[in-house]
Structure 1
Amino acid sequence: MEPPRGVLASIWNFVRFLPYFVGLLLLGTIKGAILCPLICLIITIGNSAITLALWPMHFVWTYYSILRAKKIGPVLKLVLFIFLPVPLILSPAVAICGSVLGGIAYGFFAPIFATFQAVGEGKTNEFFHCFYDGTRSSIECSFTVVRDFMDVSRHSYLSIMEDLRQQEPQDGQYYEIRLVHLPGAVIAGVLGFLIDMPLISLIAMFKGPYMLFKGWHRLFHDLLGREGPFLETICVPFAGLAIILWPLAVTGAVLASIVSSIFLGGYAGVVVYQESSFWFGLCYIVASLSLYDEYSNDVLDMPDWSCFPRPHYRRNMVLSRMNSRASTISRPGSFRNPPSRSGSVKNPIIEIKPLELLHLLFDEAKRFGESLVSEGLITPQDIEDAKSKGSCGIVTIGLPAYSLFQALLRSVKANSSGILIGNDLNEITSTNRPKDVFFDWFLNPLLIIKDQIKAENLSATEEEYFGKLVLLRGDPVRLKSSSIGPPPESERKKAELDALARRLQGITKSMSRYPTFLRHFDNIVEALLEDLMKKNIVNRPTGGSQRLTKSRSLFHRVFSQRSVRSRATTSNSGCDPESQRSVETTSTENV
């Protein structure tokens, strides 16, 4: 499908599109108005209940973790103990207000976007999907939002606090605070807030109308000429929706500027503390106005200058020049030079979406988990621990880390510039990766680890040893007692592999804090449990009571008693035979 050529073709396409777009917009708006109260109610009640129920635990556990933290000095702990109640007391109100606003926005706009997606390319029975899409799926996703919020409030929070308690100070130096500069830093932060917030708000509101009309001009140009963001998908309905919703985007940008001005002005206190000078903090308050003004000019493609002065606020002039250079963002080329149609259509860059990438990672973990279960490296007790504890373990952390290792090893052997993931060997590179800072935190370190694995030039035996080391590193007892193969002869190489395994598990542990991670990983645990159930039935003698239709509770009891019997037998290996027989008889009777 080619974009329309010529002015008349573009105008006719636009006129033909109007009733089609208006009908979809009205239908989506009706569905959004009907479902918005219900979805908002689900998200608000669910998130508010979780917030209020876990708030006492969060309050106590935050203080306990700071008290036990090894990287924080005594004076800094005292300061945190004094100022922490303010954010901790305000956090429930912020969470509840955010849930209400997020529930309203999601409940209204999700059905609208689903209505437009129902008529996308490759869709069948479009008339039915226009009415159905965005109804049940939006309600189900609202429950998913509550589930992910609970995982973040419980699992991610506890994981972060655990790291805070267990991390050792680097080079024996913990974080400390200099009390002599603290009053000046507080005063500078308050002055920065009082001065920068109103001025930056005025600048943002002054440039808001210019952003509105410039964006409308660009969107209408793209709509008629099929350029810019609408070139690849040729999705005219979404272009019209973007035109209608552009004022909301401008309003959101202005509000985001006002909110960011609080932190931008408050950073003056950090400058005072870092530079040990109150004067540099005052200079930063003035320079931050210039930084924001020039940044907004670059985004809006306005002349590159500012009426505000920019005094130096750092002692090191090199750092000052680096900050000045970093603040001047290159102007978006899409405003001046739209992408070439021919090159983009012939050689499209297929960007991997964040959820697609996560699904690929979980599919890898499930596939390797099934093979490791068959090999006996993952036991029923490991799966039970993953279901009950849900924290660091062989299944929860070791299995995803092992999957990442296999993907990196596959990429090294294929001499890929990126990372090959999945059965279809999807290559993730810097060009098609999800455009999200969150993925940069993990992709770049994984690429560095891939280069380090390539430099190690591992043999087949070392690859097997390294894989089992990554899998079992979270359980030192199993790591010592299990046969993971002969280690490398070189002690240096052995230490390097141990360090790489530790880094892979650290990256995986950080990934496990992502909101959707725990929900998807529960499905993998259930699949491994089902696989163990089937194998347990196949291996046992056939009988009327041993059918696939047995309840899941019975299988949990079977695995639990088997694990108890194996541990009891092992622990009583030095006892007399009568004791061992009594243990086995008791376990069999319980089954």
Structure 2
Amino acid sequence: MKVPVGFFQVLWSFVSFLPYFFLLFTLGLLKGAIIGPVVIGIIVISNSAVIIGLWPAHFIWTFYCVLRTKRLGPVLKMVVVVALPVPLILWPIVGIVGSLLGGIGFGFFAPLFATFEAVGENVADKCYHCFVDGCLSTIRGSWTAVQDFTDFCFHSYFSYMDELSEKVPEDEKPVDIRLSKLPSCFLASLIGVPVDVSLITAVALWKSPYMLYQGWKRLLEDLVGREGPFLETVCVPFAGLAILLWPLAVVGAVIAAVISSFFLGLYAGVIVHQEDSLLMGLAYIVSVVSLFDEYVNDLLYLSEGSCLPRPRYRRNMNPNQVKKNGQSNDTNRCRQGLFRLQLEKLLSILSLNFIVCVPLIQVWDWLFKSCEVNGRILLRDGLIDIMDIEECIVKGNCKKLGIKLPAWSIVQCLLASAKSNSSGLVISDDLELTKSNSPREKMFEWFIGPLLIMKEQIKQLQLDDKEETCLRELIMLGKNENPEDWDDSHFLSSDNVRKAQLQAIIRRLQGIVASMSRVPTFRRRFRNLVKMLYIEALQTGASANHIGEIPKSRYNTDSLVRSGDKEGRDETVMYYQQTRKNMTL
């Protein structure tokens, strides 16, 4: 678009923008007021029922797994058992209050944002979509949120606890603390929590007016000059919305500071244990306030460093990290553009088009699409059968499909990336995932880093086509604990070192997939994938003898199509109809 130049052009652009914006804002508020109570009721009532209903099981199973685990030493286990009742008793309160706040935020802001999205450049019939968008989709989204939360409480939590109670390798030492250090650790935490919470809260409140002023100043400057987020027409409504909602961002930042200060105060006990000194823990309590103040100053373009004292709280601490004469020598960092990046991040969230989430969604979609394609191939080749699908759908035992199928799909990606000499992971013909363009979420970085390492390891092994074919069978059907497990397989190489390297890659990859399976979204989408594979098996006549034994009333494809979330239902219906059409032809 042509950016207006001159005072009168800028003034006219600003004046003409205001009525347009306030009409959309009023309509969005009205839709939020109507849809919000419905969404709040769905989320709060459903989540509360899940929390209260599962609370006895969570309480008992948590104690059982902690007492059974070998990962914790006796002293630390005793401390955890004594402290466990507090978070377990608080969990229903925190869960219900969190559901209430989440329901308010989603039920109110989702229709508001959808109203602004309806006036995008690529939207036809804008007037109709301004009134309709964000109504039914928000209600469906609330049910999806309830389903994901239920999956977390039913599946993910128990999976984490089961992993805690599993057997540990003989060479792994349990984590423990010395009993003689406990009094000083508790004392440091008891002092640190009230001191740090009060001081960090005071600093956050003192600096909040500066944050409010700096944010509004930057946004208004961009609005008048049509720069930054106001440069593109599609971003203008959301940037204007950010001006009104910026106080909420400031309030959120203060609340986040208060919550984090509690854990920062507790960490003083960890410092005491690590440094074996109560004085070091007390020094940390004072230093962390100075560190927080310095970070806020950097964020708000205030004076560098902090005037608060920062004593040494680690024995091997770099002298340059200690404050001297009220100045900080370890803040040689890039300050230009920092606050603008924070604003742009907020604006991206407000537009529901957060730039970091786009590749994450693409990667997530690629994984399930790859599992769908590979699932059909494995079903055709007999490496998975109708019994595996039946066990996953009916009994909920998806260990083979839920772990091995995604693992094989990722292995194929690693093989293709290694052959193409890519610096990252080739997940499609036009998309290569590298460290520079990958999502910035910390959890995703924990996954992408090991995958890049495994790709380089596979590249060095230089597998041929026959080995790759055999590797697929070994991942889906074989055991991968020892090199001798592959002796009866068709794997050509007799090199035990080579076998051990591949088995280590497979085990590590299956561990990564097991961690991914605990994400509630994974479980919901994978259920829809299994339903499509089941329909595929029925339509292609896979394992016909076994299928004939399945009662139709128990395994009805129409009931499978009706279950699941809307996205999964639509995909299942379309695929089912297309499959039926192809068979008819």
Answer yes or no: same fold by TM over 0.5: yes
**Whole-Å Cα distance in 1 between the matches of residues 233 and 419 of structure 2?**
35
Q: Given residue 494 of structure 1, which amino acid in structure 2 is its aligned partner?
A: K
Matched position secondary structure for 1:120? coil
**Whole-Å Cα distance in 2 between the matches of residues 442 and 274 of structure 1?**
29
Are the aligned partners of 1:72 and 1:175 in contact in 2 as well (CA < 8 Å)? yes
Structure 2 unaligned regions, length at least 5: 344-354, 559-585
Q: Given residue 147 of structure 1, which amino acid in structure 2 is its aligned partner?
A: Q
Q: What is the CA-CA distance between 1:107 and the residue it aligns to?
A: 0.7
Q: Which residue of 2 aligns with 1:398?
A: 404
Greater Cα shift, 60-69 or 516-525: 60-69
**Residues 447/42 of structure 1: CA separation in 2 closer, same or farther (3 Å cut):** same
**Residues 77/159 of structure 1: CA separation in 2 closer, same or farther (3 Å cut):** same
Q: Which residue of 2 aligns with 1:296?
A: 296
Q: Which residue of 1 aligns with 2:490?
A: 485
**Residues 494/487 of structure 1: CA separation in 2 closer, same or farther (3 Å cut):** farther
Matched position secondary structure for 1:102? helix
Q: What is the CA-CA distance between 1:419 and the residue it aligns to?
A: 1.4
Structure 1 unaligned regions, length at least 5: 340-348, 557-591
> Deviation per CA, 1:405-456, whole angstroms, max 9, x where unpaired?
111212222222221224x442222233223112111111111111111121
Matched position secondary structure for 2:501? helix
Match status 1:435 vs 2:432 = no
Q: Which residue of 2 aligns with 1:416?
A: 422
Aligned pairs (5 A) from 1:87-126: 87-126=87-126
Are the aligned partners of 2:121 and 2:234 in contact in 1 as well (CA < 8 Å)? no
**Residues 351/104 of structure 1: CA separation in 2 closer, same or farther (3 Å cut):** closer
435, 454, 458: which one aligns with 2:459: 454
Q: Which residue of 2 aligns with 1:579?
A: none
**Residues 406/232 of structure 1: CA separation in 2 closer, same or farther (3 Å cut):** farther
Q: What is the CA-CA distance between 1:56 and the residue it aligns to?
A: 0.9
Match status 1:269 vs 2:269 = yes
Are the aligned partners of 1:196 and 1:264 in contact in 2 as well (CA < 8 Å)? yes
> Deviation per CA, 1:284-332, whole angstroms, max 9, x where unpaired?
0111111101111111122212111111111113499499998876425
Are the aligned partners of 2:299 and 2:338 in contact in 1 as well (CA < 8 Å)? no
Are the aligned partners of 2:371 and 2:409 in contact in 1 as well (CA < 8 Å)? yes
498, 503, 512: which one aligns with 1:507: 512
Match status 1:35 vs 2:35 = yes
**Whole-Å Cα distance in 1 between the matches of residues 25 and 85 of structure 2?**
46
Q: Which residue of 1 aligns with 2:56?
A: 56
**Residues 328/32 of structure 1: CA separation in 2 closer, same or farther (3 Å cut):** farther
Q: What is the CA-CA distance between 1:151 and the residue it aligns to?
A: 0.7
Are the aligned partners of 2:386 and 2:543 in contact in 1 as well (CA < 8 Å)? no
**Residues 470/539 of structure 1: CA separation in 2 closer, same or farther (3 Å cut):** closer
Q: Which residue of 1 aligns with 2:335?
A: 331
| Amino-acid identity (%) | 48
Matched position secondary structure for 1:64? helix
Q: Given residue 367 of structure 1, which amino acid in structure 2 is its aligned partner?
A: V
Q: Given residue 267 of structure 2, which amino acid in structure 1 is its aligned partner?
A: Y
Q: What is the CA-CA distance between 1:231 and the residue it aligns to?
A: 4.7
Match status 1:533 vs 2:543 = no
Matched position secondary structure for 1:385? helix
**Whole-Å Cα distance in 2 between the matches of residues 436 and 172 of structure 1?**
29
Are the aligned partners of 1:216 and 1:246 in contact in 2 as well (CA < 8 Å)? yes
**Whole-Å Cα distance in 1 between the matches of residues 454 and 321 of structure 2?**
32
Q: Given residue 393 of structure 1, which amino acid in structure 2 is its aligned partner?
A: K
Match status 1:200 vs 2:200 = yes
**Residues 222/445 of structure 1: CA separation in 2 closer, same or farther (3 Å cut):** farther
Matched position secondary structure for 2:113? helix
Q: What is the CA-CA distance between 1:391 and the residue it aligns to?
A: 4.9
**TM-score, normalised by the number of residues in structure 1:** 0.85
Q: What is the CA-CA distance between 1:385 and the residue it aligns to?
A: 2.2
**Residues 223/278 of structure 1: CA separation in 2 closer, same or farther (3 Å cut):** same
Aligned pairs (5 A) from 1:75-224: 75-168=75-168, 171-224=171-224
Greater Cα shift, 62-71 or 39-48: 62-71
Whose Rg is larger? 1
**Whole-Å Cα distance in 1 between the matches of residues 536 and 298 of structure 2?**
56
**Whole-Å Cα distance in 1 between the matches of residues 485 and 391 of structure 2?**
19
Are the aligned partners of 1:114 and 1:133 in contact in 2 as well (CA < 8 Å)? yes
Q: Given residue 406 of structure 1, which amino acid in structure 2 is its aligned partner?
A: Q
Match status 1:374 vs 2:376 = no
**Whole-Å Cα distance in 2 between the matches of residues 263 and 524 of structure 1?**
40
**Residues 368/131 of structure 1: CA separation in 2 closer, same or farther (3 Å cut):** same
Q: What is the CA-CA distance between 1:539 and the residue it aligns to?
A: 6.4
Aligned pairs (5 A) from 1:554-573: none
Q: What is the CA-CA distance between 1:266 and the residue it aligns to?
A: 1.5
**Residues 146/337 of structure 1: CA separation in 2 closer, same or farther (3 Å cut):** closer
**Residues 336/393 of structure 1: CA separation in 2 closer, same or farther (3 Å cut):** closer
Matched position secondary structure for 1:4? coil
Q: Given residue 419 of structure 2, which amino acid in structure 1 is its aligned partner?
A: K
Match status 1:306 vs 2:310 = no
> Deviation per CA, 1:535-573, whole angstroms, max 9, x where unpaired?
128968xxxx99xxx6662689xxxxxxxxxxxxxxxxx
Q: Which residue of 2 aligns with 1:344?
A: none
Greater Cα shift, 213-222 or 325-334: 325-334
**Whole-Å Cα distance in 1 between the matches of residues 341 and 485 of structure 2?**
61
**Whole-Å Cα distance in 1 between the matches of residues 2 and 449 of structure 2?**
37
**Residues 336/436 of structure 1: CA separation in 2 closer, same or farther (3 Å cut):** closer
Q: Given residue 553 of structure 1, which amino acid in structure 2 is its aligned partner?
A: Y
Matched position secondary structure for 2:375? helix
Q: What is the CA-CA distance between 1:251 and the residue it aligns to?
A: 0.5
Q: What is the CA-CA distance between 1:482 and the residue it aligns to?
A: 12
Q: What is the CA-CA distance between 1:336 and the residue it aligns to?
A: 7.6
Q: Given residue 173 of structure 1, which amino acid in structure 2 is its aligned partner?
A: K
Q: What is the CA-CA distance between 1:462 and the residue it aligns to?
A: 2.0
Matched position secondary structure for 1:432? coil
Are the aligned partners of 2:67 and 2:77 in contact in 1 as well (CA < 8 Å)? yes
Aligned pairs (5 A) from 1:281-292: 281-292=281-292
Q: Which residue of 2 aligns with 1:495?
A: 500
Are the aligned partners of 2:184 and 2:269 in contact in 1 as well (CA < 8 Å)? yes
Aligned pairs (5 A) from 1:566-581: none
Q: What is the CA-CA distance between 1:218 and the residue it aligns to?
A: 1.0
Matched position secondary structure for 1:427? strand
**Residues 363/272 of structure 1: CA separation in 2 closer, same or farther (3 Å cut):** same
Are the aligned partners of 1:286 and 1:310 in contact in 2 as well (CA < 8 Å)? yes
Q: What is the CA-CA distance between 1:233 and the residue it aligns to?
A: 7.1
**Whole-Å Cα distance in 2 between the matches of residues 245 and 238 of structure 1?**
10
Q: Which residue of 2 aligns with 1:518?
A: 523
Q: What is the CA-CA distance between 1:201 and the residue it aligns to?
A: 0.8
Query: What is the RMSD computed on CA atoms of the aligned residues?
Result: 3.0
**Whole-Å Cα distance in 2 between the matches of residues 271 and 148 of structure 1?**
37
**Residues 391/274 of structure 1: CA separation in 2 closer, same or farther (3 Å cut):** farther
**Residues 412/65 of structure 1: CA separation in 2 closer, same or farther (3 Å cut):** same
**Residues 162/218 of structure 1: CA separation in 2 closer, same or farther (3 Å cut):** same
Q: Given residue 60 of structure 2, which amino acid in structure 1 is its aligned partner?
A: V
Are the aligned partners of 1:390 and 1:396 in contact in 2 as well (CA < 8 Å)? no
Matched position secondary structure for 2:520? coil
Q: Given residue 99 of structure 1, which amino acid in structure 2 is its aligned partner?
A: S
Are the aligned partners of 1:40 and 1:103 in contact in 2 as well (CA < 8 Å)? yes
> Deviation per CA, 1:113-145, whole angstroms, max 9, x where unpaired?
111111113111111111111000000000000
Are the aligned partners of 2:118 and 2:133 in contact in 1 as well (CA < 8 Å)? yes
Count of aligned pairs between the two proteins: 539
Matched position secondary structure for 2:432? strand
Are the aligned partners of 2:71 and 2:174 in contact in 1 as well (CA < 8 Å)? yes
Are the aligned partners of 1:48 and 1:96 in contact in 2 as well (CA < 8 Å)? yes
